[in-house]
Structure 1
Amino acid sequence: MKPALYLIPVTLGDTSIEQVLPAYNKDIILSIKHFIVEDIRSARRFLKKVDQDIDIDSLRFYELNKRTPKSQFSNYLDPLHNGESMGVISEAGCPAVADPGADVVAIAQKKGLNVVPLVGPSSIILGVMASGFNGQSFAFNGYLPIDTNERMKSLKNLETKIYQEDQTQLFIETPYRNHKMLDDILAHCRPQTKLCIAANITCPDEYIQTKSVQEWKKGVPNLAKVPCIFLLYK
């Protein structure tokens, strides 16, 4: 196996490995001894989920999150420079997508190192697939502003793009603020604008539903503390 920085997708929730990840991923994971991870504890749990017999203590972890000084990023790739493959593991879904792992991938690309993305679940792509919205032109906007006025402006700007550019708009929110986000969407978006709520994607209690803003005002699901992605379209 050629030494590379492998981007390793993680299940989006309490889903079996076999349901969302190819068997090939396991073979790659078990061949790697160095992992760049968003959170060491959750990465260790994921690796145990991949193979209960994996020798966790023989592995080395490099934590990469919003608290990690950027000056450390480049040194994280030293094992790869020395001919050893490395893996990047996010908290959930695909690494380097709405994830700090993108920073170390950028360094690897700049240095001409081999980067290999592995197949796995992405709430962004799965959400677009299930929404019934435009899948040829869409934009993921990450987190919208927390400030109410700024968030209102962002929603209005995204809605303008929907109608002027025929582009699906996606964004996420911290799970405990889902209902605040939903309240703002219903308060500030046009009644005919369509909203898809995609929650707990790939999990046993998966919920994906598309309705107009006006229809959602008749009743909304309980999204408290649930990983969720919101999609808007005309």
Structure 2
Amino acid sequence: MTGTLYVVATPIGNLADASARAIEVLRAADVIACEDTRTSRTLLARQGIATRTFALHEHNERSAGARLIAELRAGKAVALITDAGTPALSDPGALLVEAAHREGIRVVPIPGPSAALAAFSASGFASARLLFVGFLPAARAARRKALEAIDERGAVIFYEAPHRVAETVADLAERFGAEREIVIARELTKLFEEIARLKLGQAPAWLEAGPHRQQGEFVLVLGPEQEARDRDLAAGRRVLALLLEVLPASEAARLAARISGAPRRELYRVALERKPGQHSR
């Protein structure tokens, strides 16, 4: 019988964010595949986990993955973690997970911290559409070319390094306009966490307000285009009006959001105004 590959999300800063299930899986695994065994040692030591570790990173993912697949074929339980957050999301791991699927090996996600979703949840952007880009190219010409290829009306999430964040924000403003909103999330869940929502044209001044503002790890959440948001909401209201003739408020709002791309929460609020007394339980 083959083993199981567990894809385990780990804290992005605050070690207290490790879930009980993640700790249980890491403790019970036969081997833990780490992006950097030295970095992961801090979390494992805090939880008293002495499981054997194995390095799997961007430079050895294919060769290390083959060795881990052999362990899985032998019936071992392998836990895959990265330095922080969810594996395979702008981090190593996707090649190992793909190989496990091809071998018919069971893959079990252990959900938890994600810098991208944490930043989006704290953005306040009511967008039914979400594009995750991750890190843009480091070279400015390549970065601008990548941004030109993004034609997304909804929210867009980027990761960025501190020494490039100012240039990237300037490029975003040039590509999407100074009036489009952005959330800058810095050092999420850590001691000096900062989250600011402002217009792209205001973002350079925010970053330059102090040297600490260009230190740490960044998630940038580009807000949805206002015109697109207005169009989606108008379309959603039209669809909702028709669906409310035959469906309860919650179901009508859900389907109208899927059809139009408008935020479900906003459509549900409108539906309740038109059909009072139908709050979900």
Taking structure 1 as the reference length, the TM-score comes to: 0.84
Structure 1 runs (4+) deviating above 4 angstroms are none
* Cα pair 1:186 1:217 within 8 Å, conserved: no
Task: Tell me the distance in 1 between the aligned counterparts of 2:201 and 2:186.
Answer: 20
Per-residue deviation, 1:33: 2.6
The Cα of 1:206 is off from its aligned counterpart by 1.9
Pick aligned residue for 1:73 from 65, 68, 72: 65
Closer, same or farther: CA 186–223 of 1 in aligned 2, 3 Å: farther
Measure, in 1, the Cα distance between the counterparts of 2:36 and 2:101: 23
Report the counterpart of residue 31 of structure 2 in structure 1.
34
Contact 1:21 / 1:119 at 8 angstroms: preserved in 2? no
Matched, 1:208 2:195: yes
1:139 to 114, 125, 131: 131
Shift in Å, 1:225: 3.2
**Match of 1:9?**
9
- What's 2:104 paired with? 112
User: Could you tell me how far apart the structure 1 residues matched to 2:125 and 2:19 are?
Assistant: 28
Alignment of 1:24-63 (within 5 A): 24-51=21-48, 54-55=49-50, 59-63=51-55
Instruction: Provide the rounded CA distance (Å) in 1 between the counterparts of 2:96 and 2:182.
Output: 34
Query: 1:7 Cα shift?
Result: 1.3
Deviations 1:190-219 (A, max 9, x none): 111111111122223221121111233443
Give the TM-score normalised by the residue count of structure 2: 0.71
CA distance in 1 between counterparts of 2:120 and 2:19 reads: 22
Do the aligned residues in 2 keep the contact of 1:179 with 1:223 (CA within 8 Å)?
A: no
1:194·1:211 contact (CA, 8 Å) conserved in 2? yes
- 1:102-133 per-residue CA deviation (whole Å, 9 max, x = no partner) reads 11011111111111111211011111111122
The correspondence of residues 153-192 of structure 1 with structure 2, limited to 5 A, is 153-158=145-150, 161-162=151-152, 166-192=153-179
Question: Partner amino acid for 2:222?
Answer: L
Unaligned stretches of 5+ residues in structure 2:
226-281
- Cα distance in structure 1, aligned partners of 2:149 and 2:197: 21
- Report the identity percentage: 25
Who is 1:103 aligned against?
95
**Which position in structure 2 is the counterpart of 1:85?**
77
User: Per chain length, whose mean CA-contact separation is higher, i.e. which structure has more relative contact order (CA < 8 Å, sep 6+)?
Assistant: 1
Contact 1:137–1:167 under 8 Å retained in 2: yes
Identify which of 139, 143, 157 aligns with 1:151: 143
The within-5 A match list for 1:214-225 is: 214-220=201-207, 222-225=212-215
SS at match of 1:73: helix
Q: State the one-letter code of the partner of 1:216.
A: A
Range 145-154 or range 97-106, more displaced: 145-154
Alignment size in residue pairs: 220
C-alpha displacement at 1:5, in angstroms?
Answer: 1.0
| Residue aligned with 2:25, SS | helix
Q: Which amino acid aligns with 1:6?
A: Y
Please tell me the root mean square deviation across aligned C-alpha atoms, in Å.
2.2
Moved more, 107-116 or 176-185: 176-185
5+ residue gaps in structure 1? none
Q: Per the alignment, in what secondary structure is the counterpart of residue 35 of structure 1?
A: strand
> Do 2:61 and 2:95's aligned partners in 1 also have CA atoms closer than 8 Å?
no
